[in-house]
Amino acid sequence: MAEEIRVKIKNKKGLLLVGVLHVPAGEGKRPAVITLHGFTGYKEEKNSVSLARELSERGFMVIRFDCSGSGESEGTMKDDYRMTNYISDIDSVYQFIYNHPRVDAKRIGVWGHSMGAMLAVIFGSKHPELKAICAVSPPKQMGTTDWLAQFLDDWKRTGWFTKVSTSGHGESRVPWAFMEDAAQYNTLDYAGDVRSPLMVILGLAEDTVPPEHTREIFRKADEPKELVEIPGMSHNYKKFPKYTRRVNDTVIPFFEKYLK
């Protein structure tokens, strides 16, 4: 049976990132997957946890973690919660996994949802050695989505955006500085540089990221790539076991194909 081990990884600013490492039963080096949460997300989200557990039961090492300024990781939203810092955090976690004695460094993949999917593509564009990238509902750019755009004027005026978790995770108070930093990142600027096999998944009942934005990212990417459109699935699919199951049943064979 797979183990779940709490780990702390120092990022480039000296902050400790808290994660959960899923270690499969048995011995020897294994393929690995890094999972990335979305905007105001965290490592305990049901979609990330369920995928990590299923992958580890199939022989994968998996790590899910909170980016700096979020969840249990060190730092604050005011000073550290930025996309630039998150990208740097991913690199710190990647180095941890790459050098882990149970990981085959030549078989590492990345999975992300929403903003995490966007960052999976951006990170993947800088790491052609990655063997597979899966992006679920990536936006083109933060603030261009139907959901987030409606808050931008008040956010800029007050300096803060407050989001209350519907999963009991508490309140997130994100500074306008996050959006100023995020403005420099457009997924379309990076998708064409991804050299790893890419799977893009979107729900046709999306209520946060317009499906056409996600399709644009897919069209910009090179082969090999695969687009999966799921009827009835919304952005917050983690709340619906039916769609969590459908996504996992799509993602796991993709990683098994390219990482095993």
- Kindly give the parts of the chain with pLDDT less than 50: none
* Alpha-helix residue ranges (DSSP H) falling in the chain: 46-57, 77-80, 83-98, 115-126, 146-149, 152-158, 176-182, 188-191, 211-220, 241-259
Q: Residue 60's pLDDT is what?
A: 98
Helix axes 241-259, 46-57, angle to 10 degrees: 40
pLDDT at 164: 76
Q: Which pLDDT score, from 0 to 100, does residue 44 have? A: 97
pLDDT in the model for residue 167: 57
pLDDT tens for residues 117-151? 999 999 999 999 999 999 999 999 999 877 899 99
List beta partners, residue 52.
none
Predicted pLDDT at 166: 58
Cα separation, 20 vs 32, whole angstroms = 13
Give the angle 165-166-171 at the CA atoms, nearest 5°.
20
- The answer to whether 249 and 50 have CB atoms below 8 angstroms apart is no
Which pLDDT belongs to residue 144? 84
Axis crossing angle, helix 83-98 with helix 115-126, rounded to the nearest 10: 60
Tens-place pLDDT, residues 216-234: 999 999 999 999 999 999 9
